[in-house]
Structure 1
């Protein structure tokens, strides 16, 4: 029946032509518009599938110094010791450990028990000691002494771990060592900066020829008596302050009679 094929082809062509004449319907703007924030789609054999955006949670270190290892095993190589309060981004999970990224970008694994989902109170900031203070290894005041900080030492307060008393604060000392001190022995007042400003205008290398040198206007004899070498103005601010702290500890504020009285230090 050779005559049937042309009729079927003609019918098919007529149907396609009729469909092309039907106008397209445009949905109104309120009909579920697609925004830039919509979740991405993935094409599959059965059509596009909507996927949820990836989410990475955050943890805060609650241990005094958490151990972060290179691999999942707790016995693997240690890569970091973040202080309490450090913010970590979770990258992966295991039953008892989390893979995290530290603030500097380094990655590693940490025990879940050493971190918390509760943001720790941020009390970071520079402070100064109000007297010579004892710095302990752990939060307990009876803990081992790691060093003693001189009066007016500049320290950096670190974030406080949850559930800890407010009478002790963790600090980072000028050399980088960390430890715990009494909260009542810290102040925002920079007594050595104020004293240097009063004595010399804060000029580290001042030498006017009057026999007094540097920020704290040492005489050469007094400078040598506290272990200084050469002349004060030839050393940096940190070294001069260190020697001034030694002098104050030995002889009190009377070594700078005018300025310490003006500043209310005696």
Structure 2
């Protein structure tokens, strides 16, 4: 049973060392009951068998944050949080009260203390901070046949982005335990650098030497963005089905002129001039 996390940015303002002031007094009577001498554990164990279940006492170890372990005697089946409160140790909504039995942490109904358990109070502090981080702009490369193969041309400079990042650092007994990014929001989104990269024109054996400029001029007036209301697009007036049949994606008139010519060459290789019954004679 863990306390519900609180919303404040730090744990209790009471210093850990001051938590033990009431504990020293509170354990004085318990120390007398235990004797804090060899054989005390056996005495408590025998008293459990003789006493009623409601009043039987068990010996447990109490470990508060980084302070030394203190032995106390409490009624058995006591919830660990009540044990800590009974010793006068302040606990806030962030702190953890754990029970260790035979070297393992226990949970649920088994968390009620038994003889020989160790109850640990972990001082939890949550530190919330906000910072700004720079996000690299990145680079977008666009192949083109308008530049010599391998040549590069920057057509737009990039700009780094900025993010506002809220983080929560959790400390257990003053030691870092967890780092969590709570949220990220854009102050300014990055703008990638755009670079044209020259490449060889698309090549298709048997179709490279034809007069594709003349065909494009006849079909669309040489306009790669041409749209015919009858459902034909681009330099070579592809319809969508034919465009897809030669590997095109999206709309034909959205592709670069070089890709449109390449797809037209593939179409010619499979079907000849027939897709262009009026202008195909110009090839």
Greater C-alpha Rg: 2
Of structures 1 and 2, the one with the larger relative CO (CA 8 A, separation 6+) is: 2
* TM-score normalised by the chain length of structure 2: 0.27
Greater strand percent: which structure?
A: 2
* TM-score normalised by the chain length of structure 1: 0.29
